[in-house]
Chains A and B, each alone.
Chain A
Amino acid sequence: MAKERKYIIMLVLLAGILLVVPSTIRMLNHNPYMTNSEAYNNIRLYDQGDVKYDSLQGHSIPLNIINLIRLNDYARQILFNIIPIILGLLTVALIYLILHKQNISEKTIIAIVVLIIVSPIFTYVFTDYKVYSFIIFLNMLGLYLLMDENVMFSSAAFAIIPFIDPFSGIVTLVLLLTYMFSNQKHRTNIKITSIALLTAVVLSLILNTYYGYNILHMFQFNLHNVLTDIGANIGVSFSIIILTTIGLILLWENGWRMLVTYVALLLIIVASLFNDTIRIYMNFVIMVYAGFAFMYLNKRKWSISIIKKTTVLLIICSIFFSTLVYITKISRSEPTPEYIEGLKFINNQSLSTEVILGSPTNGYITEYYTERMVLVDESTQYRDTQRYIDMENITSSRNLERTEKLLKQYNIKYIIVDKEFEPYLIEREGLLFLIETSQKFTSIYKNSKMEVWMYNG
């Protein structure tokens, strides 16, 4: 028991260090701002107080019960900055305990947990306020309680998930059912929990529909880069993919009896290529297989020992390389103080009804700091296709009349040309041409990170 406690402390410590490193590096670089992510959107939605409608962007939002918790400024700061890290640490401890209940060897458990901790998705989920930090924690808590034969509390933990994010509730349900098919143990408990979760999902969908949210919008599927080695934000490293494949082959027990489970897993893995939420979930599942594979490669007798040593070393290096690349990337990423300065300038300069056109990838930060509507943000392409098409038309058209019509239609007054948006505009060759030649636009702000153009029409 003392040994277990020691391991948990060490793993939690490792997780703590990795979760704190990105913001520490940013602080040391005199950048106190959070990395660009959905956290900015979550904080803004929390601050506005309305749980069903985004009053700035003017559309319905899915019900999230975290937004119902009202806190004072101090507690709010804790919620946004410290709670995700604490949830991350608790998740690590829970994963360790869950694996312990599965008759897995100590070394394999440690390998799996270390792989989870150093995975870029773990850092992504638990460094700032993302709904996934609550969801993953609740998943692990529910699973732990399930293993501990505490069905009521387990069901309660799982049942909260759909009220934070309905889509995550559905994914949890699918994974629970997959687990049930693959495992003879806890079947009755899983059935009860699944029924509770299903009820919660249905209730959440009814509530969301009642509040005017189009539930089809939560199915956000698009092809993404999934390899963190080549720059993906929410992805896994190449080595993990190979290890997982080996792990899946190794754990192919009982032949065809596992077929349903394996087919379901493969389908979920394929779906994870297209959806961030599923990919985040799958990260925690595939690490189990990767951990097994790693231990297998490490333990088995190789015919050539030098190859064993070099291969294991290569695997370790490539996994840590991937973590390093990710941490370096987010430590250096936008927004920088100069960028925020530009956004605050727009906030001071503009009227509250005026709309900003900028890169969709910086939409959430722009909304947060300017407190103005943006034409497109990260979610627009799933939510409002017409708006997204119009953005493409504005950026690619050289027809001033057509562009002005669209600018007026959306009341767009400011255009932010930054590192993200400039290459896009250059590629489109439309709006930039009009900005330079039409004399309808005035440059009102410029620093090393952005240039702001005002439409004079």
Chain B
Amino acid sequence: MKLPDLKSNLKNLKDKHLWWLLAIFLLVVAVRLYIAFQTPLFNYDAYFNLRQVEHIKETGFPLYNDPLSYGGKTQLFAPLNHYILAAFSLIMPVEIVGKIIPNIIAAMIIFIVYYLSLKITKNNKVSLTTSFMSGFIPIYFVDINHVSVNYLAILLTLSIVYCVLKLNERKYVDYALILMFLLVLTTPMAFVLVIGLLLYLVLLKLENFAVEMKELEIILFFTFLVFWVNLLIYKNAFLTHGLLVIWQNIPVSILSNFFSNIGFIQAIATISIIPIILGVYAFYAAFHKERSKEVMIIVALGLSSFILLWFKLLDVINGLIFLSVTLTILTAYTLKRINDFIEKSKIHKYQKILHVTIIMLFIITIIPSILSIVYSSNIGPLNTPSSGDVEVLKWASINLPQNAVIMSGLNEGNIVAYYAMRKNVMDTNFLLTPRIDQRLRDVDDVYTTSFETKAIGILNQYNAKYLFVTEANLKQHSVTSVAYVKDTTCFVPEYYSQGTYIYRTNCKIE
């Protein structure tokens, strides 16, 4: 065969794979958007992000001095993701942007997983299989309605890893630098990558690999960059909470239930059994059979997220997402080994069947997990406020005084600020709030106490004149109703819709 023919054949082959990749991408986007649009609403915490996006759209700046959260407080966060969403919100409504853009970003992971797998295996089919798997990792479906920064963080992290592996080409140095800047402006989760890269250097040293100076330099640069930018962004939090800032001032009761939302079996199910088995084997093989730098960097990233997860320094969902993505990429390595083995054996004719079988097995195991996540009342994308909640809060936005403070459950703080546009007593942005444990206890007491005076005392303490009661909140506190609101002298129901109430308090404790 002539050389030009070979080239054109190769190009066609490559194109064919790219078409497959595009098809997988569209499939992932379609599935995610289908689930996302099952409800017009978002998860509770998403409303904080939506408020920030709207504020950037209106003023060009994030709402760092938030007048509504906790009755008014400073918010600290890296704003890039919000800016990206705000840019799209110029051409479509914010609610649509919140549904579509994060899910497109999430689906883009399949491209980077494909290229990383290709770098590890040099095998297109294996890489396509792995990229398909990455698009359907069950835990990756948790944040569908969350307007989450995680997807961008994962995408940027993996892209940086890919660039680090190709630093010998000059353009990838530039790409790496740009991506690193983008990542630190997106999320403090950049620390996962910093620790991963440092572990990578340790692993290279342990396995007697030569450390390239370019790698060393870029890792050193990234380490300084991440620490310094985060110190700048979170300076006040560091000065207020000291080292405890790594736990984000999360109340002890929430921190101690860190893993309670997801048990061990559920954690395995959320990652899916196939990537776990094949990924763990890759981990073993990479160190004992065929050592590979490419695998080592992915292993280091997985170890980093595992260590951070173990010490509760990383949110359980984020930790599992990082872990599952790295295991899925490692799956490519195992698949390649199996592939090579079969090619050399007498059953090489059945190679295609094997690929299909693995994909089928994967599909069979993920479907129940995805369904259980989608319909999970704790973490699922359909765990949104009810239409009654929204209606009551929209009513409040029109009829309550501008400076009113609304007492709500912890999860509902952000929807109070978003829909009612009134001050809340507490929401899930814990940083910089003094006495956070006491505040959470007070909020819980309001919904669980049977003593009216106690509740009024707490409401007075936080200047809250209105009490927001939802079915979800009552269920969370394991009560059927708020005991003392029957006394209409002190608690007047102001508005009601589908099991959601807003009460006005008339009493004060002197």
Contacts and interface: CB of A to CB of B under 8 A. Distances in A.
Interface residues of A, number: 27
Contacts of B239: 230-231, 325, 329
Contacts of B218: 304, 307
B225 A314 contact: yes
* Chain B interface mostly: helix
Contact of A311 (B173, B220, B238, B435): B220
Interface string B223-245: 11101100110010011001101
B217 A308 contact: yes
A85 B224 CA distance: 33
Given A225-B243, A304-B218, A321-B231, A242 B223 contact: yes
B241 to A, nearest CB: 8
A20 B261 CA distance: 54
* Chain A interface mostly: helix
A302 interface: yes
B217 A304 contact: yes
A49 interface: no
A238 B227 contact: yes
Contacts of A242: 220, 223-224
B438 A426 contact: yes
A230 B245 contact: yes
Contact of B232 (A303, A321, A423): A321
Interface string A319-341: 00100010001000000000000
Contact of B224 (A225, A306, A315): A315
A307 B243 CA distance: 29
A395 to B, nearest CB: 15
Nearest to B223: A242
Interface in A403-446: 423, 426-427
B214 interface: yes
A319 to B, nearest CB: 10
B213 interface: yes
A317 interface: yes
Nearest to B229: A314
Contacts of A308: 217
A404 B231 CA distance: 46
Contacts of B238: 229-231
Given A231-B239, A238-B231, A321-B231, A303 B224 contact: no
B447 to A, nearest CB: 21
A231 B223 CA distance: 20
A242 B220 CA distance: 9
Contacts of A321: 228, 231-232
Interface string A43-86: 00000000000000000000000000000000000000000000
Contact of B217 (A238, A307, A325): A307
A239 interface: yes
A251 B435 CA distance: 47
A225 B243 CA distance: 7
Nearest to B220: A311
A238 to B, nearest CB: 5
A311 B216 CA distance: 12
Given A225-B242, A321-B232, A303 B225 contact: no
A421 to B, nearest CB: 14
Contact of B221 (A311, A423, A427): A311
Interface in B238-290: 238-239, 242-243, 245
Interface string B174-218: 000100000000000000000000000000000000000110011
Interface in B296-353: none
A349 interface: no
Contacts of B225: 310, 314
Given A225-B242, A230-B245, A242-B223, A311 B231 contact: no
A244 to B, nearest CB: 14
B72 interface: no
Nearest to A311: B221
Contacts of B235: 325
A448 B235 CA distance: 25
A306 B434 contact: no
Most buried by A among B177, B218, B224, B238: B224
Nearest to B224: A314
Nearest to A304: B173
Contacts of A189: none
Most buried by A among B228, B235, B243, B438: B228
A318 interface: yes
Contacts of B438: 426
Nearest to A230: B238
A223 B231 CA distance: 22
Interface in B129-178: 173, 177
A318 B217 contact: no
Contacts of A304: 173, 214, 217-218
B223 A423 contact: no
Contact of A230 (B217, B221, B242): B242
A23 to B, nearest CB: 21
Nearest to B232: A321
Given A225-B243, A303-B214, A311 B224 contact: yes
A311 B217 contact: yes
B231 A318 contact: yes
A295 to B, nearest CB: 15
Contacts of A314: 221, 224-225, 228
A317 B228 contact: yes
B224 A230 contact: no
A362 B231 CA distance: 28
B173 A426 contact: no
Most buried by B among A225, A231, A308: A231
A426 B438 CA distance: 9
5 contacts: A303-B214, A306-B177, A307-B218, A318-B224, A318-B231
Which 8 A-B pairs give the minimum distances between C-beta atoms? A230-B238, A314-B224, A311-B221, A318-B228, A231-B239, A303-B214, A307-B221, A303-B213
Interface of A: 225, 227, 229-231, 238-239, 242, 297, 302-304, 306-308, 310-311, 314-315, 317-318, 321, 325, 329, 423, 426-427
Interface of B: 173, 177, 213-214, 217-218, 220-221, 223-225, 227-228, 231-232, 235, 238-239, 242-243, 245, 434-435, 438
Given A310-B225, A314-B221, 18 more contacts: A225-B242, A229-B231, A229-B238, A230-B231, A230-B239, A242-B220, A297-B220, A307-B217, A307-B218, A310-B177, A310-B221, A311-B221, A318-B228, A318-B231, A321-B228, A325-B239, A423-B434, A427-B435
